[in-house]
Chains A and B, each alone.
Chain A
Amino acid sequence: MNKERLKGNLDLLLLSVLSAGPTHGYAVISALRDRSEGMFDLPEGTIYPALHRLENSGLLVSSWAEAEGRQRRVYALTDKGAAALAAELSEWRSFASGIHAVVGWPATAMLGRGRMALGWSS
């Protein structure tokens, strides 16, 4: 998948994963990779700055806890983050619905099948 497109939607994805409850960075990144079946596979170390940025914007809050004998940073969604998630989800659904209405239009699909049958697929 185009990395820039993924980065453009990273905030929505991270907020969405954290809406299930507070968790640490490793679990957030694993959930991103597992739920997308490997499609969202950015270098893991580059996700942390995005979490820090969301925390600086007041959408997340973090705390340090002791786990397995070392320090672990746990992130949680704030009320502002939950509101931002709801707004971004709504916007994303409208956008996806608009895209689907265009590319899923029957004539478009038929045209695509016709092009393929003639060997014009690009």
Chain B
Amino acid sequence: MSTAGRNARDLIDAYLAELRASLRATPAEAKLVAAEAEDHLLQTTAAGLAAGLTRREAQEAAISAFGSVRAVVRAHESTPGNLVRGRTPEAVLGDLFLGSWKLAGIGLIAVGASGLVVALMNVMFGRAFTGQAPAGVTFPKAKCAYWMAGWPGTHTCAVAHMLEASSDGVVLRIGAGIMGLALLEAYAIARYLLRRRGQGRAVPLAGYFPVLAACVFGAGALALVLAQLTGFTVTEGPGAYLSGAIMAALVAAGYGVRARRVFRHLIRGWARYVRAR
């Protein structure tokens, strides 16, 4: 937006209005952040005026030194808040509920994406890679009959199970992914309704959501790899767990990158705690 026609006061007002609108915080939190920013900008402007700048130049310099709205918002969003202090129990529980909801949605979408990986593995390495049970695994007769009825032309339970498992690995997982998309859509609607009720656009779990997601998905990837390596509960081909581990590791890595500042903050806090003891 051009600021050519604005008077000097408008520059700071416009900046603060943009800051308030961009912050993912409750209206009360955004008001406090904006009040602090306003005080800072007016003090910097006063210093500029004292140094001989015109009012307009002083306000432009103050805004430039304060940083772009984007940079300031990013700095606030990458700074974790306090999950409990200064909040009502309802707000904390609501935050935990919404955080879990979002995590479940993303988890189901990751499962759906792993179904696409299974489909790719089926094409590249054959269905046995994702569906074939390890040697020695046996199945109840009733299940064998069910699978063989579903796959006419198969003569052994092992083959019918392999076809069933490699197919389910794609279809059921993609179904879960679609459910995840619906869950995230409902989550977005819930957040929108809360915002309309004046309960703000608070960052999920006070900024700790990326840390939680990185840990949960990282642990999931590790558990799948360990289960495959030890053979624990494995009744399908290596691609079944491997596809899940790949997606979980990718999601964990993505959230790990987003959470790196919060991780740094947590490590620093932990180091302080250890030193204090």
Interface residues of A, Cβ cutoff 8 Å to B = 11, 24-26, 29, 43-46, 48-50, 52-53, 56-57, 67-68, 70-73, 80, 83-84, 87, 91
The interface on chain B, measured as residues whose beta carbon lies within 8 A of the other chain's beta carbons, has a size of 31
> Which of B33-41, B48-56, B184-192 sits within the interface?
B33-41
Q: A46-B75, A70-B38 are in contact. List 7 more A-B contacts (CB 8 A).
A: A25-B36, A43-B71, A44-B65, A45-B72, A46-B67, A48-B72, A84-B276
Chain A residues with Cβ below 8 Å from B268 are 11
Instruction: Judge whether B75 and A71 touch: CB under 8 Å.
Output: no
Instruction: Judge whether A56 and B85 touch: CB under 8 Å.
Output: yes
Main secondary structure of the interface of A (DSSP, over half): helix
Instruction: Judge whether B66 and A45 touch: CB under 8 Å.
Output: yes
C-alpha gap A57/B72 in the complex (Å) = 20
C-alpha gap A53/B42 in the complex (Å) = 24
Instruction: Judge whether A26 and B44 touch: CB under 8 Å.
Output: yes
Which residues of chain B from 234 to 275 have any CB-CB distance to chain A below 8 Å in the complex?
265, 268-269, 272, 275
Which of B39, B78, B79, B85 lies in contact with A24, CB distance below 8 A?
A: B39
Kindly report which residue of chain A lies nearest to residue B43, judged by CB atoms: A26
Is residue B82 contacting chain A, with contact meaning CB distance below 8 A?
yes
6 contacts between A and B (CB under 8 A): A25-B36, A45-B66, A46-B67, A46-B75, A48-B40, A70-B39
